[in-house]
Structure 1
Amino acid sequence: MSTLNLGILAHVDAGKTSLTERLLHAAGVIDEIGSVDEGSTQTDSLELERRRGITIKSAVASFAVGGVTVNLIDTPGHPDFIAEVERVLNVLDGAVLVISAVEGVQAQTRVLMRTLQRLRIPTLVFVNKIDRGGARYEGVLRGISEKLTPAIVPMGAARGLGTRDAEFTPYGAADTAFTAGLTELLADHDDAFLAACVDDATPVSYGRLRKELAAQAGRGLVHPVFFGSAATGAGVGALTAAISELLPTAGDDTEGPVSGTVFKVERGPAGEKIAYVRMFSGTVRVRDRVRFGRDGAEGRDGAEGRDGEAVPAGEGKVTAIDVPGQGPAAPRDSVAAGRIGKLRGLDAIRVGDTIGVSGKAAAHHHFAPPTLETVVFPCRPADSGALHVALSQLAEQDPLINLRQDGASRDMLLSLYGEVQKEVIQATLANEFGVDAGFRETTTICVERPVGTGAAVEIMGKEPNPFLATIGLRVDPAAVGSGVRYRLEIEPGALPLAFRKAIEETVRETLGQGLRGWRVTDCTVTLTRSGYAPRQSHSHGTFDKSMSSTAGDFRILTPLVLMTALRQAGTQVCEPLHRFRLDVPADALGAVLPVLARQGAVPRTTTRLGPSYVLEGDIPAARVHGLEQLLPTLTSGEGVLEAAFDHYRPVTGTPPGRARTDHDPLNRKEYLLSVVRRVTGGRDDA
């Protein structure tokens, strides 16, 4: 049986979790359909998910249809959890984008569709809630065509909208308007099919049309649209049939090299780590030893300090495997290509890791960085240690929250996408870890970019260098968005590999905090000079590190050289800007424009669309939440704001700084006192 890994995506409250329940019920996986309002759904297992009626963490459930095992992945709909969504997209074969027939295309719907198109993920559209008052057909189709993609195929007619008797009737071969429109759309995307339509004496058969529709939908060129209701089941049968007919199944290279990607990590009842892995090739078996790691593919401007960062590979023994089947995941001896498995025993594994060899699993996907930061503190001082442990485990599940601790105050800081994420973390700490925590005011995360070239060198045996290492580094500015690049200007054989790796790894780590404490990006660091003391021994053959260079010499010296070069180059602090799209009623435009100005927003375009205006432009990330709070009052609840990180811009005025969490190589004396436990005769014995 082939496998299809399917994502269900939607703007919050469009009904995707309800659709998941209906699909599982129709396939006979569950006896009763759970209720989001009552907190009884299969995939929303967190207490806060049940209480708020939103999806926070991705969840996997399986069912069989038409000879295909569908691993159905329910994803978050709230924009604060977009990174969770993008991780899931990395493992999908296809997707269903759910839209409300009442609200139509919403802000997050646009974000999700753009992401699906960028990653070329085949997508069906399901317009839900046709049984609700205010449900629309033509208006929603027009909104999809104008705001998402014109390459849509309405797959049937909806009748009785707004009533419990609403139904969806699929089009067939006898619907000439449908077949004519479908032929024209498919011909627009495929020259060979167009030629067949023009050259053949007889019309293209309906079977040929469906085959071509499946081929183009499977390549993400066209998007079939279905209407229905997850609450009543209307249209769900047609959608289910289309899932197996129109979306491509996973590859089955079970004999190839092991390659997979970790898209979720959770803890089991005994605290054991469980890794959700999508296998792209090969087979992993219980008791296999597997290698894992990642190559910085989480985005050029991903979590702080992760620019191109090469994370060392780990290795572990798989002690147990659960594989989703017809219902909950069950223990299995192995998990093969195309399938999703829950692996235990890999204690050091993290979200984003590649299992085995790099392949499709290691494809580059960009995660917009969190642009906000907050201090988390225990309500009871005695819980400080427990809070740090709990936050460390949450960082395993979501590396982009980037837990860090202030070196002086010992404050614990987290990166965030928004205020709802803060509430989720607070509830998770209380419910899963028994720790009551509070948050200080949210602040903006900036970056630093070099503005010039700086160089520095420290030579072994010359003051003030106390280490058996020579390092020369040059820092040059690079193109915006290029991240951090590291290169050699020395001959590779001039320095042992272990020492070269120590320098590069430390360079990337050190650039996590620049002259003002922000992550340094968009630069090239070049190793211009090197030297070391070869391995020396006493006459009796004992290695003497006081006479020989070690990797520690290079690791401790590198930050001093790098920060001296960076200080010479100088840096510019840049703040994050979001690109916004704002739909407002025409009569509210006059009230909205002054507020945008006060929030620092700069509209680039203003377009009249019927009874409303659409404004697009830039707004500082720190001001988005404030605008969201003001918008309902300004627009009588009719304004729709869509905002997502776009770029960084130089800060005007006094640049903000951030407290350091490292040993501060900008202060040489304090740095050496912190990192060298004992110095004897100018030699590090640590």
Structure 2
Amino acid sequence: MPRKTLNLGILAHVDAGKTTLTERLLYAAGVIDTVGTVDAGTTRTDTLALERQRGITIKSAVVSFEIAGATVNLIDTPGHPDFIAEVERVLSLLDGAVLVISAVEGVQPQTRVLMRALRRLRIPTLLFVNKIDRGGADVGRVIEAIRRRLPGAIIPMGTVDGPGTRAARFRPYGFDDPTFRAALTEVLAERDDSLLAAYVEDESAVTDGRLRGELAAQSRRSLLHPVFFGAATTGEGVPALMTGLAELLPAEAGDPEAEMSGRVFKIDRGSAGEKVAYVRMFGGTVQIRQRLRLGTATSGDAEAKATGISVPEHGGWVRRPHLVAGEIGRLWGLNGVRIGDTIGQPPPSGDLQHFAPPTMETVVVPVRPGDGGALRGALARLAEQDPLINVRSDDTGREISVSLYGEVQKEVIGATLATDFGIDVTFRETTIICVERPVGRGEAVEILNTESNPFQATIGLRVEPGPPDSGIEFRMRVEPQAMPMYVYRNADTFTEHMARYVRRTLCEGRFGWQVTDCVITMIDCSYSLADGPPSTRGPLSTPADFRNLTPLVLMRAVEEAGTVVCEPMLRMSLEIPVWSISAVLTALGRIGAAVKHQSLRGDLTTIEAVAPAARVPDLQRRLPGLTAGEGVVESTLDGYRPVRGEFTGRPRTTVDPRNRERYLLSLTRQGARG
């Protein structure tokens, strides 16, 4: 019978103590003999030199231990919001999570972001209130903040004696505690009518067994979040948390006989520089030397052979001939694989991305001019590990830019380039990433066997505005007999490839920004055959004809439709002291923010506002001074709006197809290089 596995995420706001908690869990499970510390750089999961230098988690790490007959694959994730992309790649893998909250700082901005994501994805989550032994720890205040500021019902699983002292102890409640029994029954009955009816009819009929069972059931369905307390540095409260992991989170045995389904969530490099893919298997089994079908977001399906497999075991990684459903493993041999690719059938967890993409970018400049080529190679390696940094270079190849979530991420990229690749860099001023939206309708067509068209294909495309934040929709409005089935096998495959060509072209619009929120319709198509009618007779059409002709046609249609440059807008939630309302509202007005809602609770007020992303960093810098350090701001992408006033274009990374002569020349050069 397959062994049960629990893929567990440890998440928290930065410095809440999740990496230290990870160390304590490994120590309690007997995986390590001594507990490493973040300050000393000796933790098992912070393996990067830069992580140890800075005392923060930058890359997710997987480590395994055994508990109650199940294998727990514990995934330590970054806490700093600049590395939210690393967190989001983990979310779709999880069977359960522990959200760590500091007993001193309480619920922090990133805590709220993470909890909302966990709730949205219905990931069963336990809360662990850490640092009960630190000065300033206030358990009652934190519980009240959790109830007020985090979504979902909670139940404290015990009480703390001596909080704020080195002698602090967590005392778990027993089911014979009448106060705990009453509170637990009440919160469970709110979500289970049969339990409520049984309790009303005969209180004694609600047995300990029924309460335990319903507590586990509601926790596993993400209806209820049990709260544990402790101190990761001393291990206090960790045994009770481990019991909670075993009893309240869903460890399951996957089906190794099911259809193969997995997802790549991390890319690393081995000791010889080879690519290593981290995979979560949702169904089926991968055997060593097996040919695997890889589904990619950018280039369709491909095949590769797994030449090596390893799985986490007792704190390390061991080689094995197979990887089965429910497990996490490392695969060698998938040389073309990228983060987000699927193995076999797409898993049921859907899209990886749950957080907004980066809204900032910066140009990276090598200190030594001769390092330009090495810099491109190094950034390409970093983009394997984090594709959202989206490395771009202009069409001259001289100016290289990366996308960012924040300034800390920029500092880490610079430090990584220096320490891992020996390349010293500087950064230009961080700028905002805009998009372009069509403002009208445009059409263009290139006809096969005409003087202006050098390709063996006819393509006609129409561009129209789509609803805001709808992305790119591609529609096919030509008959199947007009499609080159001998190349693309069937109409669906041809449609998929054309949609890919269209999306690739729209990465750079009239002003260099991505074109989005549009509907692209293919309105004309034909191909050539040696024995076809005169209008289509000629050399056999190839995929390259359709791929290379698409940019010429589409950009003419985009030019006719016209586009407007739009800047990202952020929806902010500010929690501030009541006495600071006037100063904060004035600051919001100065950055052009529109206040949407304002509410008062106790001595705090919450302000919901929308502002241009380019202006929000200024508010973030000023907020501590305006609120005596008590204000917090959380921001999420709220779509895009047309830029008001002047705007700058973005240097293209490819030759502009609107310059036909230069575009065709670039294709000739590419062919010569190939």
Q: How does 1:660-675 map to 2 (within 5 A)?
A: 660-675=652-667
Equivalent residue number for residue 636 of structure 1: 628
Equivalent residue number for residue 389 of structure 2: 401
Deviation at 1:343, TM superposition (A): 0.9
Distance in 2 (CA, whole Å) between partners of 1:34 and 1:86 is 26
Residue deviations 1:280-332 (CA, integer Å, cap 9, x gap):
1111122112121234xxxxxxxxxxxxxx53222221121111112211111
1:478 and 1:522 in contact (8 A); partners too = yes
1:184 and 2:186 matched: yes
SS at match of 2:205: coil
Deviation at 1:485, TM superposition (A): 1.3
Distance in 2 (CA, whole Å) between partners of 1:615 and 1:214 is 37
Runs in 1 of length 4+ with deviation above 6 angstroms? none
Distance in 1 (CA, whole Å) between partners of 2:253 and 2:640 is 39
2:119 and 2:151 in contact (8 A); partners too = no
CA RMSD of aligned residues (A): 2.1
1:388 and 2:376 matched: yes
Deviation at 1:433, TM superposition (A): 1.5
Amino acid at match of 1:606: Q
Deviation at 1:240, TM superposition (A): 0.5
Equivalent residue number for residue 541 of structure 1: none
1:522 and 2:510 matched: no
Equivalent residue number for residue 125 of structure 2: 123
Equivalent residue number for residue 616 of structure 2: 624
1:441 and 2:395 matched: no
Q: 1:671 to 1:93 in 2, by over 3 A?
A: same
Unaligned 5+ segments in structure 1 are 296-309, 538-544
Between 642-651 and 369-378, the greater mean CA deviation after superposition: 642-651
Deviation at 1:78, TM superposition (A): 0.5
Equivalent residue number for residue 578 of structure 1: 570
Deviation at 1:365, TM superposition (A): 4.1
Deviation at 1:22, TM superposition (A): 0.6
1:144 and 1:150 in contact (8 A); partners too = no
1:357 and 2:352 matched: no
Aligned residues: 662
1:261 and 1:361 in contact (8 A); partners too = no
Amino acid at match of 2:502: V
Equivalent residue number for residue 15 of structure 2: 13
Deviation at 1:685, TM superposition (A): 14
Equivalent residue number for residue 547 of structure 1: 539
TM-score, normalized by length of structure 2?
A: 0.94
Residue deviations 1:242-288 (CA, integer Å, cap 9, x gap):
00100001341011121111111111121111111111111112211
Between 469-478 and 235-244, the greater mean CA deviation after superposition: 469-478
2:260 and 2:285 in contact (8 A); partners too = yes
Q: 1:678 to 1:31 in 2, by over 3 A?
A: closer
Amino acid at match of 2:354: H
Equivalent residue number for residue 95 of structure 2: 93
Equivalent residue number for residue 282 of structure 1: 284
Residue deviations 1:51-88 (CA, integer Å, cap 9, x gap):
22111100011111111111110000011111110110
Distance in 1 (CA, whole Å) between partners of 2:283 and 2:115 is 28
Equivalent residue number for residue 508 of structure 2: 513
Distance in 1 (CA, whole Å) between partners of 2:465 and 2:670 is 37
Deviation at 1:222, TM superposition (A): 0.5
Equivalent residue number for residue 303 of structure 1: none
Deviation at 1:20, TM superposition (A): 0.5
Equivalent residue number for residue 460 of structure 1: 448
Deviation at 1:31, TM superposition (A): 0.9
Q: How does 1:66-81 map to 2 (within 5 A)?
A: 66-81=68-83
2:119 and 2:152 in contact (8 A); partners too = no
- The match for 1:589 among 581, 596, 600 is 581
SS at match of 1:506: helix
Residue deviations 1:80-110 (CA, integer Å, cap 9, x gap):
1111101101100000000000111000000
SS at match of 1:534: coil
Residue deviations 1:181-238 (CA, integer Å, cap 9, x gap):
1112111112333334345574300111010110110010000001111012111111
Distance in 2 (CA, whole Å) between partners of 1:154 and 1:635 is 31
Distance in 2 (CA, whole Å) between partners of 1:284 and 1:379 is 45
TM-score, normalized by length of structure 1?
A: 0.93
Deviation at 1:673, TM superposition (A): 2.5
Equivalent residue number for residue 532 of structure 1: 527
Residue deviations 1:406-465 (CA, integer Å, cap 9, x gap):
013621111111111111111111121221122111110011111221111121233422
Distance in 2 (CA, whole Å) between partners of 1:559 and 1:114 is 40
2:198 and 2:205 in contact (8 A); partners too = no
Amino acid at match of 1:662: T
Q: 1:423 to 1:677 in 2, by over 3 A?
A: closer
2:117 and 2:354 in contact (8 A); partners too = no
Q: How does 1:97-176 map to 2 (within 5 A)?
A: 97-176=99-178
- The match for 1:265 among 264, 267, 270 is 267
1:213 and 2:215 matched: yes
Distance in 1 (CA, whole Å) between partners of 2:498 and 2:291 is 30
1:431 and 2:419 matched: yes
SS at match of 1:561: helix
Unaligned 5+ segments in structure 2 are 489-493
Distance in 2 (CA, whole Å) between partners of 1:341 and 1:678 is 38
Deviation at 1:395, TM superposition (A): 0.8
Distance in 2 (CA, whole Å) between partners of 1:438 and 1:204 is 66
Q: 1:503 to 1:339 in 2, by over 3 A?
A: closer
Distance in 1 (CA, whole Å) between partners of 2:438 and 2:197 is 55
Deviation at 1:666, TM superposition (A): 1.8
Distance in 2 (CA, whole Å) between partners of 1:660 and 1:599 is 30
Equivalent residue number for residue 402 of structure 2: 414
Distance in 1 (CA, whole Å) between partners of 2:426 and 2:300 is 34
Distance in 1 (CA, whole Å) between partners of 2:343 and 2:549 is 34
SS at match of 2:354: coil
SS at match of 2:525: strand
Deviation at 1:363, TM superposition (A): 4.6
SS at match of 2:234: coil
Q: 1:552 to 1:132 in 2, by over 3 A?
A: same
1:546 and 1:685 in contact (8 A); partners too = no
2:305 and 2:334 in contact (8 A); partners too = yes
Between 486-495 and 601-610, the greater mean CA deviation after superposition: 601-610
Distance in 2 (CA, whole Å) between partners of 1:601 and 1:211 is 49
Q: How does 1:184-333 map to 2 (within 5 A)?
A: 184-199=186-201, 202-295=204-297, 310-333=298-321
Between 550-559 and 279-288, the greater mean CA deviation after superposition: 550-559
SS at match of 1:644: strand
Q: 1:401 to 1:535 in 2, by over 3 A?
A: farther
Deviation at 1:631, TM superposition (A): 2.1
Q: How does 1:598-609 map to 2 (within 5 A)?
A: 598-609=590-601
Distance in 2 (CA, whole Å) between partners of 1:678 and 1:381 is 26
Distance in 1 (CA, whole Å) between partners of 2:153 and 2:323 is 37
Deviation at 1:623, TM superposition (A): 2.3
Distance in 2 (CA, whole Å) between partners of 1:342 and 1:350 is 13
Amino acid at match of 1:248: P
Equivalent residue number for residue 466 of structure 2: 478
Amino acid at match of 1:527: M
Distance in 1 (CA, whole Å) between partners of 2:221 and 2:344 is 27
Equivalent residue number for residue 343 of structure 1: 331
Residue deviations 1:519-556 (CA, integer Å, cap 9, x gap):
1111111110112211469xxxxxxx963322222222
Amino acid at match of 2:523: T
